[in-house]
Chain A
Amino acid sequence: MADYEREDVRHGVVPDIAGSKFGLASQWGLGNQVLVHAGVRRPKQDESSDLTTPPSIHIVKWDIDMHNPVTRKLVNESHNVFISLQSHNPEQADTVRKPQLVKFSRHYRSVQRACVLELQLKGDAAEDEEKRQIYYAQCQVFSMIELIWSLCEILFVEVLPGGVILNQLLDWVSWHFTQGDELATAVMSSSSPHTHESYWPAIYIYVLQGRIDDARKLLSIHPDRQRDVNDLYGMTDELLRKMPMFTVVGRQSVAEFDMKWRHWQDQCQQCLEDGLFDSHNNLSIICRILAGDNRVFSELKDLTQSWYQMLVAKLLYNNPTIKTFDIHYHAQECIDDYGGNSHLSTLDNILLSALEFDIHQVIRESSAHLNNWWFVAHLTDLLYHCGQLESHNLNFGSNLREFLLLEYATSLMSHESLWQIGMDYLDHCPEVGRHYLELYIERIPIQTERKALKVLRACEKRGMELQAHSICKEMGMKALQNDRLGTALSWCIRSKDRAFATFLSEKFLSEYSSRGGFSNLDLIDNLGPAMLLSDRLTFLGKYREFHKMYEHGEFREAANLLLSLLSAKLAPQKFWLTLLTDALPLLECDQVVFSSHQTYDLMHCLEEITLSFQSTQYLDKDDKQRTQGQREADQEKIDLLRLALARNLSRAILHEGTEIEGI
């Protein structure tokens, strides 16, 4: 039963001449879009492609109905309703819940209404004919959606106890089909209303829609009424006035009402049988409607316009206490009056399925033909919250809901400003929503840092660390590409990418070696615990700390730090010489900064450097980059260091000796 058998295959044409010869290749984009180009088949070597025009690329999108400014408003507003519907408490008793759900449904409808009106306005105001058509077409779709939604609300959401449904259906019809009012306005604005061609049709429509008061008002202005010998108008008015109306809030029982109704309708029939209105065709028609004469409905089918309006009118006068589940038995007659099943439009089919309580069919038809995921996704979600999906034996209820929500969210994801809303919908898809989110969130185009932070917040909110890291890494890479080392490093720290941190630290160090200073000092000074991300970064931070100490004259602390950087092998070996050179001024200080022990350690490091200078590895690797001049400079530094270390050692030993003596 739940098979998408039907032809819901969409067809599109790509304007490409070469496409038919070389085939079309496609490449997916974000959301519902593909790039298409001719040339999927490789031409043979001897076959020339003989393109007459330069090849084209085609960007094909679909499900973008919600992307124009008017419908975007609808997306935003319905999103709020959706979110509060999700958080509404399912534990509550049915009596509390139902009014709430009805309220949600009304919210949705008011949003739809606003959208229809705005589309209408935009359509009227559009200067360009093509745009106007687009607006009108959308307007039509949303009017249809409104009609279906409100019927579904009556049938599935606002289910009244006892199942007497007619009043709601009457409201439904008179709300959506205002032809009666339009005619009445035209009639009233004419100089002699009663002779206006629409005078009687307007009254008929009012009667057919059960709007008795309006009908009586219109009837009362007929001048014949005053000089009516047989008081035909008075009798008609009396019949109309006495017509019983069933109300749920009233105290009467169905049986009681039924009795009253039958009594009243007998009166109407009696009038007809007595031939009271034979002389007055128009009043006779009204009476025949009241008496529930089946033929008169067929005669007036131009006024009821559609089978469902006729159905409601017929039910009103033939079967006013009909139960919800019986309605569809009466539908066929009315459909036959309008040309039978073969003439049913999409809308007719959807409404019929709704009346047959085939929710699944409603959703299926709507999703296939309305070309709009907004409607099916929200309706299905609402019905799911009403518990209607289970009670109608759709055991895949929650899957269906999720399936449609996913479709809707996907149609939002391809728009650059609707992605946040799309994500909120995905949050409420328990099965695969999370996976969709993970795949989409990384791909959201990030043009600015602000947007990056926005996406990162969305990641954090959902605990998506992996994705957040990836975004940070990408931002870091972008900054690096633009030669903004500081920004790159701060993104890198956020992404916690150790390897990238090492790489960037190297960059900073080589920048220092070549320029003799650091850029982005504030960042390096405030690394804090982030410095532990990679050894090289720790070294960078500590090395900068050393510089600060030195600047502040804290020589002893600076010396200790320097030595620990060397002895803990935190410093990369190629940087040792630089570090030792940094130690030179400390060695030459007036005070003795390095103890004899520390000096031995420094000497040890120096020896290691000289050894490594002679090692083949060093010669192989670095020699190519090192010019002769540099090597000489290095050698000079080593010699200087040797001297300084030796002198410091002697001073330290002397100093330590006197200290001991002092004790």
Chain B
Amino acid sequence: MFVTKSISAEHKDLIHDVAYDFHGRRMATCSSDQSVQVWDIGEDSEWHCTANWRTHSGSVWRVTWAHPEFGQVLATCSFDRTAAVWEEVVGESNPNHRGQNHWVKRTQLVDSRTSVTDVKFAPKHLGRNNIILRIELCVVDIAVRLQNEISCKMNCSCISWNPSRVHPAMISVGSDDPSTTGGGKVQVYEYSDGNRKWNKVETLMTVTEAVHDVAFAPNLGRSYHLLAVASKDVRIIMLKPLRRAQSTVGQHSGVTRFEVRQPAQFDEHNSQVWRVNWNITGTILASSGDDGCVRLWKANYLDNWKCIGVLKADGTHHGPGHSGRSHSSHVVGTSATSGASSSSSGAAAGNSSQSSTRVRFTVSPVTDIRVDQKYSVFF
């Protein structure tokens, strides 16, 4: 039995992302109205909006919290081609709101040439070199820049950090390139401390459709990593590191090899899947699709993955024709850009930048991810 409590947000447009903080006592929302709101649970156990400010000059796609060890810090990314990091400070410098907390922009990454579609903080154990208050930030963007960038050779839409403490830093990257001939759409990179580089360790060749979200599950002491992929369907991929001795000798000797299996694949959404999200223990996966449903997936004690719940929007005010239309418009949208060239990483990238990126991609189909390690927030 599901019990639902609804809160009316004060956004003026569609909400694109909502993020709980680490303890689930605060949440942040971001919207097409270019603003971010922060909500807190009050004494009355109700949610109150405690901050609402304009963050970008375009739709804000994602919002995410840093681990509270780093303070109250948010990162946002937007259609305006930037990503920003925000910190909450206690009533300094603003005489009108003395004593009241407010959010200050600590940094802005403005080197992207198109919409920045995803932003994720690294797991806190990767806070390197004991330099405090450093937050690693991984931003998907299309620009070619700086050290520690990853050349994906595909346009990326989403990223996920592997939260495992025992494994070297690892991320997976998904591409929403609609062409199905381009090979695997999910790549896995591992950071090598030895040569201080990100190495590609795996490409999931089985996923050839556009990917809109990837998510590593919390490890839970498993001997393998679980990666959820949102594509035409929901997939759960198992990456089991093979012992180093078994890996090929030579230049790859420092790189982990994986045994890749796919324990589950669900097409119940019957349409494009947009988002995948693990619960805290990495045991239940929530997926969102174009069918308007959130579906919950869980493995039973025999490790069989099954749907355990479906949440559906109350669509009584919209006939099936309405949702059908939005479906088809989506299909048209993607097929128009399919072909030899690829679309930009952001599905909603502006027309002008779209055409220019497309040309660029035809010449050199390279997308880069910047993993900015030297970045830090100073107080």
Q: Interface residues, chain A, CB within 8 Å of chain B?
A: 2-4, 8-31, 33-45, 47, 49, 51, 53-62, 64-65, 371, 396, 399-400, 402-403, 406, 410, 432, 434-436, 439-440, 442-447, 470, 473-474, 477-478, 480-483, 497-500, 502-503
Contact = CB atoms under 8 A, between A and B. Distances in A.
B13 A25 contact: no
Interface of B: 1-20, 22-25, 27, 29, 31-32, 39, 47, 59, 61, 68-72, 88-90, 124, 130-133, 218-221, 272, 274-275, 277-281, 283-284, 286, 288-294, 300-302, 304, 306-315, 317-318, 322-323, 326, 329-330, 333, 346-351, 379
A502 B294 CA distance: 46
Q: Which 10 A-B pairs have the closest CB atoms?
A: A19-B313, A20-B315, A12-B2, A403-B301, A499-B132, A499-B130, A445-B23, A30-B24, A39-B14, A40-B288
A317 B5 CA distance: 55
B329 A4 contact: no
A3 B304 contact: yes
A57 B9 contact: yes
A527 B302 CA distance: 53
Contacts, number: 281
A25 to B, nearest CB: 5
A49 B4 contact: no
Nearest to A16: B313
A17 to B, nearest CB: 5
B24 A445 contact: yes
Contacts of B124: 470
A20 B301 CA distance: 34
B294 A34 contact: yes
A55 B9 contact: yes
A21 B301 contact: no
B314 A13 contact: yes
Nearest to B71: A477
A255 to B, nearest CB: 45
A500 B217 CA distance: 29
A8 B15 CA distance: 31
B302 A396 contact: yes
B40 to A, nearest CB: 11
A435 B281 CA distance: 8
Nearest to B220: A435
B314 A16 contact: yes
Given A54-B11, A61-B3, 9 more contacts: A9-B307, A13-B313, A20-B323, A56-B8, A62-B2, A65-B1, A435-B220, A439-B220, A480-B379
Contacts of A500: 132
A38 B313 contact: yes
A500 B134 CA distance: 11
Contact of A44 (B20, B278, B279, B333): B333
B281 A499 contact: no
A41 B3 CA distance: 25
30 contacts: A4-B306, A8-B308, A11-B310, A12-B309, A13-B4, A13-B311, A14-B311, A14-B313, A15-B4, A16-B6, A17-B318, A25-B288, A27-B20, A28-B280, A35-B18, A36-B311, A37-B18, A38-B313, A40-B274, A41-B290, A54-B11, A55-B14, A58-B5, A60-B3, A371-B1, A432-B220, A443-B280, A481-B88, A502-B132, A503-B132
A65 B4 CA distance: 14
B132 A19 contact: no
B130 A58 contact: no
A477 B68 contact: yes
Contact of A60 (B2, B18, B379): B2
B6 A57 contact: yes
B22 A443 contact: yes
A14 B4 contact: yes
Q: Is the interface of B mostly helix, strand, loop or mixed?
A: mixed
B290 A23 contact: yes
Given A24-B288, A443-B24, A445-B25, A436 B220 contact: yes
A19 B292 contact: yes
B377 to A, nearest CB: 12
B344 to A, nearest CB: 11
Contacts of A432: 220-221
Contacts of B347: 42, 44
A470 B290 CA distance: 39
A58 B325 CA distance: 25
A446 B318 contact: no
A56 to B, nearest CB: 5
B68 A474 contact: yes
Instruction: Give the most central of A11, A25, A371, A470: most B CB within 10 Å.
Output: A25
A14 B130 contact: no
A477 B70 contact: yes
A38 B294 CA distance: 11
A491 B365 CA distance: 50
Given A2-B302, A481-B88, A19 B5 contact: no
A553 B132 CA distance: 39
A12 B6 CA distance: 14
A23 B230 CA distance: 14
B314 A45 contact: no
B88 A38 contact: no
Nearest to B132: A499
Contacts of A56: 6-9
Contact of A42 (B16, B218, B284): B16
B286 A28 contact: yes
A17 B7 contact: no
Nearest to A497: B132
A15 B312 contact: no
A17 B333 contact: no
Given A27-B277, A28-B277, A28-B278, A62 B309 contact: yes
